[in-house]
């Protein structure tokens, strides 16, 4: 199997020189890939997908990820490695990214796709295998090269993942250096140099990395923090909603930015909804247990790394919950009304679900804004309802990119087989979240477009057509 040369940052030579070497190899690989037609590009993308989708590898990388990072669980990561990759491959096989990708004869326009260059892909510890493959597939679809900057905790998993991708590329006769990974030990300066020297930076993970990418001087795309609130209104199918919330909440032990972090239940059906959530596997903490959760989950104002993304049975003991909590899948803490000064309003990255109650939809909108103004603005909200107008109102009034209706949020927000969103592991939050995209990251963000512009019949309306209505109303 092809492996990337193990250059160590402790060897002679600065971080700047190390990155210069990686970028040089990336550009050489791109030159060999430059004349690939669409079929060859799609073959390369498929090779990358198979690098992680192959069952034995999906399982191996999932196990390694949990061992390396201590975050999440193996079964969920296997699903993430396969489902996200499969969906992304489906999307990419249906679109053009080489040569002419669109012709608009009525406008005299022909659009040509071209590479953006060497992509720096910063990836998080929560997805040290799936995210690198996802970004590599997007990058290669645009005939670019990609250099992965993993989190230090995920370096071992990401390096093995990259080596699998390189081997698959070489198996089909393409240069392995189209996909590279930073050498050990990964540090901030090495990642910063990669941001500085690349042609495009894509950041998924810490908001500190997002800010550093935007200040690097290189065009950058970063994604915002998640803190997803989901509503259960009086018309919802309570058991269906509870099952979906549970399935989404417990997936990979809530490491996903799309995991439900709070729910808002309408007063009139509060007890019914709570009962359904209990049937689905939820446990309601009493007042004393709630305080233990808060005291344990946060240390000096920061999330306790020894608690986040842990299994439910571990949390029962860590939080010192009643023995009745054993066997529960997630843990609910009741807050009444959203309080911006409570830590429970923020993203928790754990199997703890904050529960609020609202008088009506006006109150729902108010509390949603309170929650999202603390964290998560721009990302997404969800609602379980049988009143389309309730979902429409959220889409019209809440500053988020996605409003999911009657869906398990984690499985729908990053693309689903039963919705129209692009499969991705990076969700843009628009300017609300300090992001440059209000879309699911996809291949279009990895191509430049040249417009061939031809003359057409003159399209110049008269002054009367353009100004007539204004003149009649306000005069000339």
Contact by Cβ (8 Å): 269, 364: no
CA–CA separation, 36 and 130 (whole Å)? 25
List own/partner pairs for 419-425 with CB under 8 A and 24 or more apart. 422/91, 423/84, 423/87, 423/88, 423/90, 423/91, 424/84, 424/88, 424/134, 425/84, 425/127, 425/130, 425/131, 425/134, 425/135, 425/204
Strand ranges (E), 267-320: 282-284, 298-299, 302-303
CA–CA separation, 154 and 125 (whole Å)? 5
Question: What sign has the CA pseudo-torsion 288, 289, 295, 298?
Answer: negative
CA–CA separation, 386 and 370 (whole Å)? 25
Question: Pick the catalytic residue: 88, 246, 257, 285?
Answer: 257
The pair of three-digit structure tokens given for residue 459, joined into one six-digit string: 């399209």
Contact by Cβ (8 Å): 410, 267: no
CA–CA separation, 273 and 268 (whole Å)? 10
Element (H, E) at 352: strand 352-358
Bridge partner residues of 402 (DSSP):
380
Q: Which of 13, 446, 5, 435 is nearest to 198 (CA)?
A: 446
* CA 382 distance to own-chain centroid: 16
The pair of three-digit structure tokens given for residue 455, joined into one six-digit string: 């003359």
CA–CA separation, 459 and 255 (whole Å)? 53
Contact by Cβ (8 Å): 8, 184: yes
Q: 377 in the Ramachandran plot: left (φ > 0), alpha (ψ -120 to 50) or beta?
A: beta
Cβ neighbors of 152 (< 8 A, separation 6 or more) are: 125, 185, 186, 187
Cβ neighbors of 464 (< 8 A, separation 6 or more) are: none
3-state SS, residue 275: helix
Residue with tokens 């007063």: 267
The pair of three-digit structure tokens given for residue 55, joined into one six-digit string: 């069952």
* Annotation marks residue 257 as catalytic: yes
Contact by Cβ (8 Å): 330, 278: no
Residue 5 exposed, middle or buried by CB count within 10 Å (0-12, 13-18, 19+): exposed
Active site residues: 257
């Amino acid at each position: 199997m092809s492996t990337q040369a193990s250059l160590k940052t402790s060897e002679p030579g600065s971080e700047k020189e190390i990155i210069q070497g990686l970028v040089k190899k990336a550009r050489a690989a791109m030159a060999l890939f430059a004349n690939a037609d669409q079929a060859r590009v799609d073959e390369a993308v498929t090779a990358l997908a198979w690098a992680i989708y192959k069952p034995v590898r999906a399982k191996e990388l999932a196990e390694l990820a949990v061992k390396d990072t201590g975050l999440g669980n193996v079964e969920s990561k296997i699903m993430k490695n396969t489902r996200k990759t499969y969906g992304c491959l489906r999307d990419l096989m249906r679109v053009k990214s080489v040569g002419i990708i669109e012709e608009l004869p009525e406008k005299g326009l022909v659009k040509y796709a071209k590479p953006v260059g060497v992509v720096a892909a910063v990836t998080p510890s929560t997805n040290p295998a799936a995210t690198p493959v996802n970004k590599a597939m997007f990058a290669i679809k645009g005939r670019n090269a990609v250099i992965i900057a993993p989190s230090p905790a995920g370096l071992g998993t990401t390096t093995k993942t990259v080596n699998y991708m390189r081997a698959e590329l070489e198996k089909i006769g393409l240069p392995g250096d189209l996909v590279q990974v930073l050498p050990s030990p990964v540090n901030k300066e090495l990642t910063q140099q990669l941001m500085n020297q690349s042609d495009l930076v894509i950041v998924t993970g810490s908001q500190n990395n997002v800010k550093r990418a935007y200040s690097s001087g290189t065009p950058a795309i970063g994604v915002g923090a998640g803190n997803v609130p989901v509503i259960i209104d009086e018309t919802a199918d309570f058991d269906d909603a509870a099952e979906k919330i549970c399935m989404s909440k417990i997936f990979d032990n809530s490491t996903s930015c799309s995991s439900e972090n709070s729910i808002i239940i309408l007063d009139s059906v509060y007890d019914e909804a709570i009962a359904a959530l209990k049937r689905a596997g939820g446990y309601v903490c009493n007042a004393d247990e709630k305080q233990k959760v808060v005291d344990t989950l946060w240390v000096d104002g920061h999330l306790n790394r020894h608690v986040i993304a842990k299994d439910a049975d571990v949390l029962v003991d860590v939080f010192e919950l009643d023995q009745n909590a054993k066997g529960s899948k997630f843990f609910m803490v009741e807050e009444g009304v959203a309080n911006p000064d409570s830590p429970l309003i923020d993203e928790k990255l754990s199997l703890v679900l904050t529960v609020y109650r609202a008088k009506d939809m006006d109150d729902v909108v108010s509390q949603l804004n309170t929650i999202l103004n603390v964290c998560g603005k721009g990302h997404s909200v969800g609602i379980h309802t049988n009143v389309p107008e309730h979902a429409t109102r959220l889409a019209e009034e809440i500053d988020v990119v996605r409003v999911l209706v009657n869906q398990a949020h984690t499985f729908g927000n990053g693309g689903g087989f039963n919705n129209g969103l692009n499969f991705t592991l990076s969700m843009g939050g628009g300017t609300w979240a300090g992001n440059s995209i209000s879309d699911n990251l996809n291949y279009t963000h990895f191509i430049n477009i040249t417009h061939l512009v031809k003359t057409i019949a003159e399209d110049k309306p008269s002054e009367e057509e353009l100004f007539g209505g204004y003149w009649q109303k306000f005069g000339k």
